[in-house]
Amino acid sequence: MGKKHKGKPCAYCFERLSETADHIFARNFFLPSARANLPQVPACSLCNAQKSALEHYLTSVLPFGGRHKAALPNLKNMVPKRLTKNVKLHRTLRDNWGRVWAKEGGVHLRFSTLPLDPTKLQQLFALIVRGLVCFHFGTYLRQEDEVQVLALARAGETYFDKLFSLDVAARVNDDLGHGTFCYEGAQAVDCPQITVWRFQIYGGINFGDSQNPGEISRRLGALSGPLPMQAENTGSSTA
Note the pLDDT of residue 104.
57
Dihedral angle sign, alpha carbons of residues 225, 229, 232, 235: positive
Q: Does 239 have pLDDT greater than 50?
A: no
Q: Does 103 have pLDDT greater than 70?
A: no
| 45 compared with 103, residue with greater pLDDT | 45
Output the CA–CA distances (angstroms, integers) from residue 60 to 53, 144, 201, in the order listed: 11, 32, 14
For the chain, give the number of residues. Answer: 239
94 pLDDT band, cuts 50/70/90, is: confident
210 pLDDT band, cuts 50/70/90, is: low
Amino acid at 19: E
The chain-wide mean pLDDT, for the chain, equals: 88
pLDDT in tens, 212-230: 656 778 999 999 999 766 5
Output the CA–CA distances (angstroms, integers) from residue 34 to 53, 60, 67, 74, 118, in the order listed: 22, 18, 16, 11, 27
pLDDT in tens, 189-207: 999 999 999 999 999 998 8
Q: Does 158 have pLDDT greater than 90?
A: yes
CA angle 56/13/20 to nearest 5° reads: 60
Q: Where are the alpha helices (DSSP H) in the chain?
A: 45-61, 71-77, 79-84, 87-95, 118-137, 154-164
